[in-house]
Amino acid sequence: MSPYVTVTTSEAQGTTLGERLHGLVAALGAAPVRSITGDGVRATLEIVQKAVAEGRGTAEIPFEVHEVPSGTPVLDWTVPKEWNVRAAYLVGPDGSRVVDIADHPLHLLGYSVPTRARLSLDELRPHLFSMPDRPDWIPYRTSYWNENWGFCLTDTALRALPDGEYEVVIDTTLTDGSLTYAEIVLPATEPAPAGGEPTEFLITTHTCHPATANDNGSGIAILTELAHHLAALPRRRHTFRLLFIPGTIGSITWLAQNRDVVGRIGHGLVLTGLGDRSQPTYKRSRRGDAVVDRAAAVALAETGRPHRVVDFSPYGYDERQFCSPGFDLPVGRFGRGQHGEYPEYHTSADNLDFVSPENLAESFGLLTRIIEICERNAVWRNTSPYGEPQLGRRGLYRAIGATMNRQAVEMGLLWVLNLADGTHDLLDIAARAGIEFDSVTAAVDALAGVGLLVPRDAVSPEGTP
């Protein structure tokens, strides 16, 4: 059995994988109001750290929280002031609270500056945000880089506001503090491949959206579960670096402070929107043909179910930072519904009912399959490239003689021998031969086992590469 096969039931917790993920999404949604900085982010990371520490029998997983001070230059940006919320509400003419962040975290415009004022309804309107086309949903709005304040509410509630004087109470702080992110690094358990190939697999998700189950909670939950999965693997060819970061400014900050790591990144994925009903979707890296791009296409095609593979564009989530031209990292994005393509995006309708245990579990399974393919993919060299080596005397034909599809297995052996010339990786061979990736890896295992294949940069028994 492949070490990557996902176990869907936790004996320790007695829950299915999907239920476990859905439960963590629920816990994350109950965290204090979070944004790109502040105590809400720290509380979110505490939930993640506790879930990681539970372990379910896996080895101890390192979990490091980083604090980057406000004002720190990061590439062309600066780490902003830290934002925290104590209370925020709007009192109507009759003395009742018509909008209160205590009722829903999306009611407050993100990064609203501290404000106390008495305003008429006309004066107040520029600071009220609703969705006329979705009158019963609360929009999610922010003002990170321009000082402003405001409230978000349903359009139904907005249209019902009577004329009169309103009291604005926004008890927030915007002070020098820090930007907070967390990192899990699981070192490779096998020697690094020869030839100076990149050896790290970077996987990230954003932590800055309050009370959005799909756009935020699903990525955090699945990356948390992935930490358990990877830590339990009997072998890892890559070092896995998992980042829980605020969107945009988090990836920019990490890139600015980790220039020594960037050159080691051989594969990368940004995780977003993993629990909704849309078909699984992969967005290619800027390179377009990176190993992770090809691995994701194979993993999705193997399911035989509807899916999408879309080209890179410099719009979206943190993949646009990792794929900026100065870095040009092989980082794609994996999720389901794309930003702005489903009406629930950035609204109160992105709630627990919008994500399902089944879709979360399917997304997790696809993610682990993409990782498995990247881990197994390699470039090999035929040690007997002059003419076709005699497979019969090495016992390979006898080994496959009892299989139901002997011809397919035999063709896998022949294709691998022919294309294992030190320039084609296994994904190349599978595509050229038109056979399944697992058939190629099975052929590699068999041929390497009798000495007919060695890694590309290995030294042959005769002492020459």
At 1 the pLDDT is 31
H or E element that contains 74:
strand 73-74
Predicted TM-score of the model (pTM): 0.93
Q: What percent of the chain has pLDDT over 90?
A: 84
Q: Is the pLDDT of residue 5 over 90?
A: no
Q: SS3 helix, strand, coil % of the chain, rounded to 5?
A: 35, 25, 45
At 11 the pLDDT is 38
In degrees, to the nearest 5, what angle opens at C-alpha 251 toward C-alphas 249 and 256? 90
Beta bridge partners of 419: none
Question: Taking residues 256-262, what's their average pLDDT?
Answer: 96
Q: Look at the alpha carbons of 246, 252, 258, 260 in this order and tell me if their dihedral is positive or negative.
A: positive
At 267 the pLDDT is 97
Half-sphere exposure for 330 (CA within 13 Å, toward CB): 18
At 404 the pLDDT is 45
Query: For residue 429, how far is the Cα from the chain centroid?
Result: 28
Question: Inter-axis angle of helices 437-449 and 357-376, to 10 degrees?
Answer: 40
**DSSP string across 120-170:** EHHHHGGGEE--TTSTT--B--B-SSS----EE--HHHHHTPPSSEEEEEE
Residue 427 structure tokens: 């994904």
At 338 the pLDDT is 87
Q: Is the pLDDT of residue 299 over 50?
A: yes
Residue with tokens 């005699």: 390
Q: Is the pLDDT of residue 381 over 80?
A: yes
Q: Around Cβ 157, how many Cβ atoms within 10 Å?
A: 17
At 54 the pLDDT is 84
At 14 the pLDDT is 45
Beta bridge partners of 282: 309, 334
Q: What is the distance between the alpha carbons of residues 234 and 236, in angstroms, rounded to a whole number? A: 7
Model confidence pLDDT, tens digit, residues 66-89: 999 999 999 999 999 999 999 999
At 44 the pLDDT is 97
Q: Using 50, 70 and 90 to split pLDDT, how confident is the model at 198?
A: low
Q: Look at the alpha carbons of 11, 13, 15, 18 in this order and tell me if their dihedral is positive or negative.
A: negative
Q: What is the distance between the alpha carbons of residues 35 and 53, in angstroms, rounded to a whole number? A: 24
Q: Write the DSSP symbol of residue 234.
A: S
Question: Taking residues 24-49, what's their average pLDDT?
Answer: 95
Return the beta strands (E) in 247-341 as ranges: 265-271, 281-283, 308-310, 331-335
Q: What percent of the chain has pLDDT over 70?
A: 90
Backbone angles phi and psi of 246, in degrees to 5: -70, 145
Q: Is 94 annotated as contributing to ligand binding?
A: no
At 463 the pLDDT is 41
Residue with tokens 């994988």: 17
Model confidence pLDDT, tens digit, residues 427-465: 999 999 999 999 999 999 999 999 999 998 775 544 444
Question: Taking residues 344-369, what's their average pLDDT?
Answer: 97
In degrees, to the nearest 5, what angle opens at C-alpha 349 toward C-alphas 346 and 354? 105
Query: For residue 10, how far is the Cα from the chain centroid?
Result: 22
At 102 the pLDDT is 96
Q: What is the distance between the alpha carbons of residues 237 and 187, in angstroms, rounded to a whole number? A: 9
Half-sphere exposure for 268 (CA within 13 Å, toward CB): 30
Q: What is the distance between the alpha carbons of residues 158 and 140, in angstroms, rounded to a whole number? A: 15
Per the prediction, the chain carries an average pLDDT of 91
Model confidence pLDDT, tens digit, residues 382-404: 999 999 898 888 888 665 555 54
Question: Inter-axis angle of helices 218-231 and 17-29, to 10 degrees?
Answer: 130
Q: Is 215 annotated as contributing to ligand binding?
A: yes
**CB within 8 Å of 363: residues ≥ 6 apart:** 218, 222, 274, 275, 280, 334, 335, 336
At 55 the pLDDT is 64
Q: What is the distance between the alpha carbons of residues 134 and 185, in angstroms, rounded to a whole number? A: 42
Q: What is the distance between the alpha carbons of residues 75 and 259, in angstroms, rounded to a whole number? A: 11
H or E element that contains 69:
strand 64-69
**DSSP string across 366-431:** HHHHHHHHHHH--EEEES--SS----GGGTHHHHHTTSTTHHHHHHHHHHHHHHTEEEEEHHHHHH
Of the listed ranges 233-237, 305-309, 351-355, the one predicted with least confidence:
233-237
Question: Taking residues 289-308, what's their average pLDDT?
Answer: 97
Q: Is the pLDDT of residue 191 over 80?
A: no
Q: Is the pLDDT of residue 9 over 80?
A: no
The total number of residues written for the chain in this structure? 465
Half-sphere exposure for 100 (CA within 13 Å, toward CB): 7
At 465 the pLDDT is 45
Q: Is the pLDDT of residue 41 over 70?
A: yes
Model confidence pLDDT, tens digit, residues 146-185: 999 999 999 999 999 999 999 999 999 999 999 999 999 9
Question: Taking residues 357-365, what's their average pLDDT?
Answer: 97
Q: Is 346 annotated as contributing to ligand binding?
A: yes
Q: Look at the alpha carbons of 48, 50, 51, 55 in this order and tell me if their dihedral is positive or negative.
A: positive
At 197 the pLDDT is 63
Domains within the chain, CATH numbers bracketed:
9-79+177-376 (3.40.630.10), 83-175 (3.50.30.90), 379-455 (1.10.10.10)
Q: Write the DSSP symbol of residue 33.
A: P
